[in-house]
Structures are given as structure tokens and as C-alpha cells.
Amino acid sequence: MIKITDEEALSYHQYPRPGKISVETTKPVDTLKDLSMAYTPGVAVPCLAIEKNPQDAYLYTAKSNLVAVISNGTAVLGLGNIGALASKPVMEGKGVLFKKFSGIDCYDIEVDTQSIDRFCSVVSAIAPTFGGINLEDIKAPECFEIERRLTEELDIPVMHDDQHGTAVISAAAILNACELTHKKLQNLKIVVVGAGAAAISCARLYRHMGAEKIIMLDSRGVVHNGRSDLNEYKREFASSEYLTHSQAFECADVVVGLSKPGSFTIEDIMRMDNDPIIFALANPTPEIFPKDIKKARPDAIVATGRSDFANQVNNVLGFPFIFRGALDVRAKKINIEMKVAAAKALAELAKQKVPDYLHKLYDTKLKFGREYIIPKPFDKRLIVEVSSAVAQAAIESGSSMMKNFDIQAYREELKRRINE
């Protein structure tokens, strides 16, 4: 396990210059002619072209490869409502991952408001700059309304990463854990601990993919019909019978923690069925640490959201590649078909032979099994498999604005890029 100290983390962020991102130019500005083209008078030509045909913005500006990572800092990792400014290191971090893993340029934008109206009006006002909007770390239930409004209003893909990125990756991991434990998704008893942004969307995707028995817990216990304090999103998963916290775990096959440290315990996981699938996904501190889970339940398949344990179920495996595919086919929305395609592509990739550079990087032999149910973020094949699956689903489901997109040529181009 890789250990880092607080001092190392601060030093990484401070030196050699503060922060993790910068802006670079893509055209030469070395001569008087360059200057005349980049700025006035040359720049007026693309301006007028775009005024005439707005789609030309994709030809003459950085829009087609530019995503905004936008947060109001209300649910930053599992740190809670720490505010817009304090969320900036995470948002810069998402920008780094976009660039590193899928070549997408990114501006992080921290919006200091908790008002849904104000947040939406800021985002929709700046949307023309971008090819896509990645919403991040906005708490529930506001995040659902924010995403709904922006998706409806804008003609570029908008995705709340904590909702859908997490749903896609955890669904892929559950599919593979099922295969390893010879269980079927539709027969699973799934306990989702948390009823916020990530939890609600994960549960929706599992249900869409065939899960039938989902029990949800929030900070007040099991979400059930007898409660009068449920919002409309929690009500979608309210169980018809009253259950105690402990009863929820009785013979459960899967627990997905999307809450905070300590929200379920060793006693809870001891009640689960054989070969339990236990995902403790709160960041940075999981609900229970893997070593404690493994000690109590050696038969468990365990995942966390962190890079320093086996089976990292984290949306880093999703947003870079989902947006890559969506941007490249100019998808108007990131729809359910694209999310399911991403989940299936991820699950499938974990079953392929792992390239040597990953064995070296992770200093361990990686082979599909209990300690490797989901690909690693540094797997270069992710962009080929996930982005092309997303692009194909966008085309087939009618979300793409491109006519005659050659998906095979696109896959080849992505393969070429990773071999450069």
C-alpha cells in the first residue's frame, strides 16, 4: 500500500508552482503575421463565421475539446459542504485526469452559491465556451434538479460525475463480481448505504440493468414508506416494509457504501450472504477499511474509491472516457444507453489479458479475479474500449449530431493515439 503524508500532499500541490493546471496555446504567435491572425484583424474572420453558423465554433475554437468541471463545493468527496473555494484542488484534480487520461482540456469553475437558480443561470450563461459540462461534488437533492434543468436547457452534454460516473463504474464492478461469485444481478439483495447524489444514481442504474431488490439507507436509517421525511428521490427506493439497520444487511449479497466512514460496521457485514460484495466507496476515508473487511469476511470481494487498494471503484474510470466519446460524436446528451455501454465495456476490459506495463506500474500480477474486478485508471486501453462504446451508443440512440460517423475508423484512431 502506498502511503503519503500530509506534508507530501501539500508540497505536491504547492511546488514547483501552486496548483495542478495551466493553460497552453496551440498556435504559434512568433511573428507579426501570426499576431495578425491570432488576434486582430484575423480573428474577426472566424468570429463572423461563427455568428453565421454557430456549429463553426467546433471548427475554429477550442470548444470541441473543452469541458468545464463545475462545483459549488457542497459535497466535496466525503468531506461535506466545505465551500466552493476549498473544492478547487479536487476540481483541478478532475482537470488533470481529463487531460491525462483522455486528452480533454478543462477549466475548473467554482461557483459560490447554494441556490439552484443562481447556479443554473451561471452555468448556462458560460456554457457556450464549452463542449461539455462535468458537474462535480454538488450535494443531493439539489444536484438532481440542477442536472435536470441544465440537461434540458443546453445542447451540449452535461453529466454530474458523482451520480453517473459512480453508477457506471460500480455497475461494471458488480457485474464482474457477480460473474466471480456465480450470482445473477436480478437475484441480488443490494444494500446501498447513502441516499445522496451517488447513491440514488447508482441504485437507478442497477435497477435499469436488472437489479430487483435494493434497500437504501440514509443518515436516519432504512429508507421505507413509513417515513415522512423522504424527498422524491429517496421515495423511488423506499422499501414497503419497515426494516432496522441490521435487518437490511441480513443475507445481503452486495453493500455499496456512498456515505461516510463508519456508516456500516463489521457486525453488519457479518450478516451478509456467502461471498459478499462489499464496496466501501466514501472518499478519502472508506466506510470500513479493506483490511478490516477482509479480516471479518475473508470470502468478500472488496472495493474502495482509493488508488492505494485493490479494486478502485472510482469515477476516474468513467468521466474522461465518457466525455471523450460524447465530444467526439457531438452528443447532445449523455443518455442511459451511453452509460450502460460504458459499464459493459469496462466490465469486459477487466477480463482481458493485462498489458505488462500495468504489472510493472502496480508492481503486482493483475489477472481477472477477486483482487482485480475492474480495470486500472492507467490502462491505456480504456479510451479505446470505453470511449468507442459510448460513441457507438450515442450514434445508435440518436444522441449524436454527426452524420455518417465511422466508428471503426474512430476505434483505430484511438488505438493509434495510445500507441504514439
Ligand X SMILES: NC(=O)C1=CN([C@@H]2O[C@H](COP(=O)(O)OP(=O)(O)OC[C@H]3O[C@@H](n4cnc5c(N)ncnc54)[C@H](OP(=O)(O)O)[C@@H]3O)[C@@H](O)[C@H]2O)C=CC1
Q: Residue length, the chain? A: 420
CB of 337 to Mg ion, least distance (A): 24
Could you tell me which of 218, 197, 170 has the C-alpha nearest to residue 71? 197
* Residue 39 annotated as catalytic: yes
Binding mask 359-388 for ligand X (x = CB under 6 A): ------------------------------
Give whichever of 203 and 391 is closer to Mg ion, judged by the CB atom. Answer: 203
Compute the chain's Rg from CA coordinates. 22
Residue 109 or 198: the one with the smaller Cβ distance to ligand X is 198
In three-state secondary structure terms, 82 is coil
Using an 8 Å Cβ cutoff, are 52 and 113 in contact?
A: no
- Binding segment for ligand X (CB under 6 A), chosen from 2-10, 253-261, 319-327, 373-381, is 253-261
Q: How far apart are CA 350 and CA 375, in angstroms?
A: 5
Identity of the residue numbered 229: D
For ligand X (CB under 6 A), the number of binding residues is: 29
**φ, ψ dihedrals at 78, nearest 5°:** -100, 20
User: Quick one: 30 exposed, middle or buried, by C-beta within 10 A (0-12, 13-18, 19+)?
Assistant: exposed
CA distances from 377 to 279, 361, 387 (A): 17, 11, 14
Site string for ligand X, 94-133 (x = CB under 6 A): ----------------------------------------
Min dist CB 137 to Mg ion, Å, is 4
Q: What is the distance between the terminal CA atoms of the chain, rounded to a whole angstrom?
A: 31
Least Å from the CB of residue 137 to ligand CC(=O)C(=O)O: 5
- β-bridge partners, 110: 71
The answer to whether residues 318 and 347 touch, using CB atoms and an 8 Å cutoff, is no
Reduce the DSSP state of residue 57 to 3 states and report it: helix
283 is in an annotated binding site: yes
Residue type, 398: G
Question: Of 134, 151, 166, 387, which lies in the binding site for ligand X, with binding defined by CB under 6 A?
Answer: 166
Of the residues 94, 189, 332, 376, only one is catalytic, namely 94
CB of 177 to ligand CC(=O)C(=O)O, least distance (A): 19
Q: Is 136 annotated as a binding residue?
A: yes
3-state secondary structure of 264: coil
Out of 315, 388, 399, 400, the residue judged to bind ligand CC(=O)C(=O)O by CB under 6 A: 315
Q: How many CB atoms lie within 10 A of CB 255?
A: 27
Contact indicator for 131, 67 with CB cutoff of 8 Å: yes
**Rounded to the nearest whole angstrom, what is the least distance from the CB of residue 352 to ligand X in the complex?**
22
72 binds ligand X (CB under 6 A): no
Asked if 213 touches ligand X (CB under 6 A), the answer is no
Q: Considering the rule CB under 6 A, would residue 77 count as an interface residue with ligand CC(=O)C(=O)O?
A: yes
Q: How many CB atoms lie within 10 A of CB 390?
A: 30
The residue within the footprint of ligand X, chosen from 65, 87, 181, 314 (CB under 6 A), is 314
- CA atoms of 158 and 99, how far apart (whole Å): 18
- Decide: is 162 part of the binding site for ligand CC(=O)C(=O)O (CB under 6 A): yes
Count of residues of this chain found to bind ligand CC(=O)C(=O)O when the rule CB under 6 A is applied: 8
Q: Is position 415 annotated as part of the catalytic site?
A: no
Using rule CB under 6 A, residue 49 touches ligand X: no
Is 137 annotated in a binding site? The answer is yes
**Of positions 132, 157, 194, 375, contacts ligand X by CB under 6 A:** 194
* Residue 162 makes contact with Mg ion by CB under 5 A: yes
111 vs 329 by CB, closer to ligand CC(=O)C(=O)O: 111
For residue 53, say whether it is annotated as part of any ligand binding site. no
What count of other Cβ atoms lies within 10 Å of the Cβ of residue 244?
Answer: 10
Torsion of CA 165, 321, 126, 27, to 10 degrees: 160
Backbone angles phi, psi at 238, to 5 degrees: -70, 130
Q: Give me the residues that bind ligand X (CB under 6 A), please.
A: 75, 77-78, 139-140, 162, 166, 193-199, 217-220, 258-260, 263, 281-283, 305, 313-315
Q: Which residues are catalytic?
A: 39, 94
Q: Give me the residues that bind ligand CC(=O)C(=O)O (CB under 6 A), please.
A: 77, 137, 161-162, 283, 305, 314-315
